[in-house]
Amino acid sequence: MAKATVLMFGLTTFLLCLPAHAEYNQADSPRPTAGKPLQMRTLENPPLAYTDENGEIVGVLVEGIREAVRRTGHEVEFRIYPWKRVLKEVADGNADAAFNAGLTEERQAWGMYNESVLIDETYVFFASEPMALSRDLEEASELRVGTQLGYYYGKRFDRMLQDPPFRALEVAQTIPHSLILLRADRTNVFIGDLLPTLYYLKELGLEDEIHIVREKDSGMPLVVSTSPTYVTFSKRRVDPGYVPVFDKALRSVRADSTFDVILDQYQLNVPELPPERPVKSEP
């Protein structure tokens, strides 16, 4: 499906995807944790990973990773914690891997990253009425902007936040709170992670009231920034030989559209995104 294909997994990373339904010699697969289920950790972030009404951990990335691990001949168990605890558990060797993790030098000291991008977090503006803005945000002085506490929006936008050119800036802790501020006209745009924001719009019944801001020239969603995330495995617990095996399985899950099928189940009305990132990275 085109809309999911544009969003998921950074297409250039998968130019050498495996054929669909690739087979694995599971007997030759390194045991990641002495034959025990792989212990994966992440944060609560629906629809990517979250706890449902039955207390089960579910989500687009949860189900995709579960299938990738299954194709390596192993099982996986998930736990959801605050993000700082997630990283500490993997760094200290109390868990096997964290997922939806950005790539940093600090984390590479204790973690082994698979090569494939797990998902590109995509940040776009949302507004309470249809709106189009210039790619360079020439209208910044007119905007009352909602952001989330502790979020990283890329070098360009974070640099703007150090000396905000906006009319006003409102910081909230959650996406639902940010949407409440938007509806109450405390802000007129909110910069949100696309999939989680679409999830909450659906949950709160706001799909017809909140709109993705478009870019004036192209008419496509105005992507403020994208940030690739990965699975990172603990150097203290996981056989290094397992990481490329997992990566191969993850590529095959992508190649046979398993992730697209999972994403479609959430019926999030994901828009087609620009084929290239519209905002250039800072050096």
Q: Note the pLDDT tens digit of each residue in 145-169.
A: 999 887 778 777 878 888 889 999 9
CATH code for position 24: 3.40.190.10
Q: Give me the pLDDT at residue 209, please.
A: 93
Best-predicted range by mean pLDDT among 9-23, 107-121, 256-270? 107-121
The answer to whether the beta carbons of residues 1 and 264 sit under 8 Å apart is: yes
Of 225, 240, 256, the residue at which a domain comes to its end is 225
39-83 pLDDT per residue, tens:
999 999 999 999 999 999 999 999 999 999 999 999 999 999 999
18/87: higher pLDDT: 87
Burial of 235 (0-12, 13-18, 19+ CB in 10 A): middle
pLDDT over 50 (residue 22): no
Q: Could you tell me which of 61, 191, 76, 68 has the C-alpha nearest to residue 126?
A: 191
Q: Quick one: tokens of 94?
A: 């109390």
Asked if pLDDT for residue 236 goes beyond 90, the answer is yes
- Are 111 and 11 contained in the same domain? yes
Sort strands 144-148 and 189-193 into parallel, antiparallel or unpaired. Answer: parallel
Question: Do residues 126 and 116 both lie within one domain?
Answer: no
On whether residue 126 sits in a domain, the answer given is yes
Q: With contact defined as beta carbons under 8 Å apart, do 55 and 119 qualify?
A: no
pLDDT of residue 160: 84
Please determine, for residue 28, whether its predicted confidence score (pLDDT) is greater than 70.
Answer: no
Q: Is the residue at 277 inside a domain? A: no
Check pLDDT > 50 for residue 230: yes
Which domain-ending residue is among 225, 255, 278? 225
Which residue, 172, 199, 225, sits at the end of a domain? Answer: 225
Digit-coded pLDDT (tens) for 75-96: 999 999 999 999 999 999 999 9
Would 281 be classed as within a structural domain? Answer: no
Q: 139 in a domain, yes or no?
A: yes
17 with 96, same domain: the answer is yes
User: With bands split at pLDDT 50, 70 and 90, how would you rate the model's confidence at 186?
Assistant: very high
Q: Which long-range contacts (CB under 8 A, 24 or more apart) does 172-181 make?
A: 172/146, 172/147, 172/148, 173/148, 173/149, 174/148, 175/148, 175/200, 176/200, 176/204, 178/146, 178/147, 178/148, 179/126, 179/204, 179/206, 179/210, 181/146
Same domain membership, residue 252 and residue 220: no
> Where does residue 217 rank: exposed (0-12), middle (13-18), buried (19+ CB within 10 A)?
exposed
Query: Is pLDDT at 281 greater than 70 in this prediction?
Result: no
Evaluate whether residue 232 is within a structural domain: yes
pLDDT value at 244 more than 60: yes
Number of domains in the chain: 2
Q: Do both 212 and 187 map to the same domain?
A: yes
What percent of the chain lies above the pLDDT cut of 90? 66
pLDDT at site 30: 59
Same domain? For 112 and 208 the reply is no
271 lies in some domain: no
pLDDT at 12: 33
The confidence score (pLDDT) of residue 38 equals: 96
Tell whether 106 and 132 lie within a shared domain.
no
Are residues 150 and 102 part of one domain?
no
Q: Are residues 115 and 240 in the same domain?
A: yes
Report the pLDDT value the prediction gives residue 56, as an integer from 0 to 100: 97
The end-to-end CA distance of the chain, in Å, is 34
Domain limits for position 235: 2-120+228-264
pLDDT of residue 33: 64
Taking residues 8-36, report their average pLDDT. Answer: 46
What pLDDT does 27 receive? 41
Residues 72 and 155 in one domain: no
Q: Does 7 have pLDDT greater than 70?
A: no
pTM of the model: 0.81
Q: Is 110 domain-assigned?
A: yes
The whole-number average pLDDT for the span 112-124 is 92
Q: Identify whether residues 24 and 150 lie together within a single domain.
A: no
Is residue 273 one of the residues assigned to a domain?
Answer: no
Kindly state whether residues 183 and 236 are assigned to the same domain. Answer: no
Q: Supply angle C-alpha 192, 185, 138, rounded to 5.
A: 60
pLDDT band for 34, please (50, 70, 90 cuts): low
Q: If we measure between CA atoms, which residue out of 196, 199, 201 comes closest to residue 179?
A: 201
